Structure 1
Amino acid sequence: MQGLRDLSCEGSLIRVKRMGQVDEKLFMKVCKQKFIDENVEVEYAMLCSKWQNALNDSAWHPFKRVGTGENMKEVVDDEDEKLKSLREEWGEDVKNAVKTALEEMNEFNPSGRYSVPVLWNFEHGRKATLKEGISHMTQQIKNLKRKRT
């Protein structure tokens, strides 16, 4: 994972994604729309920190069980008071970003309640295969060698 982080840039199709971490770009976008320039950075930092801490809080469990028998699964409860309050104050996009992070955390690390690194295929929006990761790293190394010669 560390090797891939070192070789990949922001636009790479295969890179490491932290599952269960809020989408900070979306939070910044919303803060830029809501605040005057001098307050944007402070509000953005406070908003990200507040909601990442909420995500990591094992006492907060905004999930409900749906389905029956073998088809029973946990989904985020949109009627959770914290999520409703978030939507009212910051809008649907921010609520959905937190909801996505909750879903990722519940899928990839439900007992730990902290974000975990996962090899991710950003082109297809899914977990990358080991083969894709190795192929990407190999291509990145070849590109670095070409630049040096």
Structure 2
Amino acid sequence: MDGLEDINKQLLTKELLSNDELQKARKELITGLNEMLSSSRVNIGIKRMGEIYEKAFQNTVRHKFPPEEAEIKTVELCSPWQEKLKNPDFHPFKIIHIDGKHEKCCRRMMNLYISLRMNGGDEIYNAVTTALKELNDYNPSS
């Protein structure tokens, strides 16, 4: 019993020391990040995995419509695709067998993708496909 109490005390001491060390490291990181962000040259953006890169739609639409209509058309084109990607029942990937391994691939021949590529162009097609692959790769439930 005495031996277990000694081990317990040693473990508690190690835990406290580790916690102190982690807190010091945390403070150092926060200080360093604040210093880095205070400089005017740093620009950190946030990318949500599985969200469509709207700039691709903007670039394509800008060439086809006048500036006053371009923003509205961008939203009209991008929103339905973003909604499709958010829909959990939308599964455009299939499992194929390559060299004895099962691999996921995008069903590129789906009617939606064909019309997207023909009507939207490669940049929009790539933006949607990239978002879809990100959703598939970073999906915690798969």
Normalised-by-shorter TM-score class: 0.5 to 0.7
Structure 2 partner of 1:123: none
Q: Which has the larger radius of gyration?
A: 2
Distance 1:110 1:54, change over 3 A: farther
2:48 partner amino acid: R
Name the TM-score, length of structure 2 as normaliser: 0.64
SS in 2 for 1:82: helix
Alpha-carbon distance in 1 for matches of 2:140, 2:119: 27
Structure (1 or 2) with the greater helix fraction: 2
1:99 aligns with 2:99: no
Structure 1 partner of 2:25: none
For residue 108 of structure 1, report the CA deviation from its aligned partner: 0.4
For residue 23 of structure 1, report the CA deviation from its aligned partner: 0.7
Structure (1 or 2) with the greater strand fraction: 1
For residue 15 of structure 1, report the CA deviation from its aligned partner: 4.5
1:33 aligns with 2:63: yes
Distance 1:109 1:56, change over 3 A: same
Task: Summarize deviations over 1:64-100 as a string: whole Å, max 9, x none.
Answer: 2123587212111110111111111111111111001
Q: Alignment identity in percent?
A: 38
Contact residue 62 and residue 77 of structure 1 kept, 8 A: yes
Distance 1:110 1:71, change over 3 A: farther
Distance 1:18 1:30, change over 3 A: same
C-alpha RMSD of matched pairs (Å): 2.9
Contact residue 20 and residue 104 of structure 1 kept, 8 A: yes
2:49 partner amino acid: M
For residue 111 of structure 1, report the CA deviation from its aligned partner: 4.1
Task: Tell me which stretches of 4 or more aligned residues in structure 1 moved more than 3 Å.
Answer: none
1:24 aligns with 2:82: no
1:57 partner amino acid: N
Could you say which structure has the greater relative contact order, defined with CA pairs below 8 angstroms and 6 or more residues apart? 1
Alpha-carbon distance in 2 for matches of 1:108, 1:81: 25
Alpha-carbon distance in 1 for matches of 2:140, 2:82: 15
5+ residue gaps in structure 1? 113-149
Alpha-carbon distance in 1 for matches of 2:100, 2:46: 32
